[in-house]
């Protein structure tokens, strides 16, 4: 069966995350620079392999430059020593729509299971074959060494430990 290589089309994709702030509202952020690739068997996405993704941490954007600088600092990502986060998948379960793999942030690698919704495959007006995936997951930031904590006067946590991930990605089949 023929193998197809696919790469993320960054102009039609987004990588976002959400974190509770003061436990009363949610802050959304994104990575503006990222890349990823995978291989599929046949035309569908039933068998995926060599799934790889990386994001440039310095491209983090939470719509607040001061906060973004804080996130790049040693309090969080230490971007000068750990410029990217990476994900490598070990298994895609098409029936349960899950993707198992290893996420590396700040030099710490942990297993993670992500939920995947396959949007389908289409040929765009320019003749390119595209595939869409919606990927969701949760992680504990502290497990990855992102341990900074602030506490309000009343004792409320400033930033939650749980981070929700959402990737809306469009892949382009490579010729």
pLDDT given for residue 92 in this prediction: 85
pLDDT given for residue 175 in this prediction: 83
**pLDDT, tens digit (0-9, with 9 covering 90-100), for 68-82:** 999 999 989 999 999
Q: Which range of residues forms the domain containing residue 29? A: 3-173
pLDDT given for residue 53 in this prediction: 97
pLDDT given for residue 31 in this prediction: 97
**Number of domains into which the chain is organized:** 1
pTM, rounded to two decimals: 0.90
Measured in whole angstroms, the distance separating CA 152 from the mean position of its chain's CA atoms is 29
Alpha-carbon gap, residue 87 to 104, rounded angstroms: 6
- CB 77, CB 106: distance < 8 Å: yes
- CB 86, CB 104: distance < 8 Å: yes
Residues with pLDDT less than 50, the chain = none
Alpha-carbon gap, residue 90 to 143, rounded angstroms: 20
CATH code assigned at 16: 2.40.128.110
**pLDDT, tens digit (0-9, with 9 covering 90-100), for 112-133:** 999 999 998 999 999 999 999 9
């Amino acid at each position: 069966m023929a193998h197809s290589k696919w790469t993320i089309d960054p102009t039609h994709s987004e990588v976002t995350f959400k974190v509770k702030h003061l436990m009363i509202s949610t802050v959304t952020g994104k990575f503006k620079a990222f890349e990823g690739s995978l291989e599929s068997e046949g035309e569908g996405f039933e068998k995926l392999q060599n799934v790889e993704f990386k994001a440039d941490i310095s491209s983090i954007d939470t719509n607040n430059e001061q906060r973004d600088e804080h996130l790049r600092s040693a309090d969080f990502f230490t971007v000068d020593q750990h410029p990217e986060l990476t994900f490598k998948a070990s298994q895609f379960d098409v029936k349960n729509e899950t993707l198992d793999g290893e996420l590396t942030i700040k030099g710490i690698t942990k297993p993670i299971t992500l939920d995947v919704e396959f949007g389908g495959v289409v040929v765009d007006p320019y003749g390119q074959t595209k595939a869409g995936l919606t990927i969701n997951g949760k992680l504990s930031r502290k497990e990855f060494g992102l341990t900074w904590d602030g506490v309000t006067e009343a004792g409320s946590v400033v930033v939650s430990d749980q981070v929700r991930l959402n990737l809306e990605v469009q892949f382009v089949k490579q010729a």
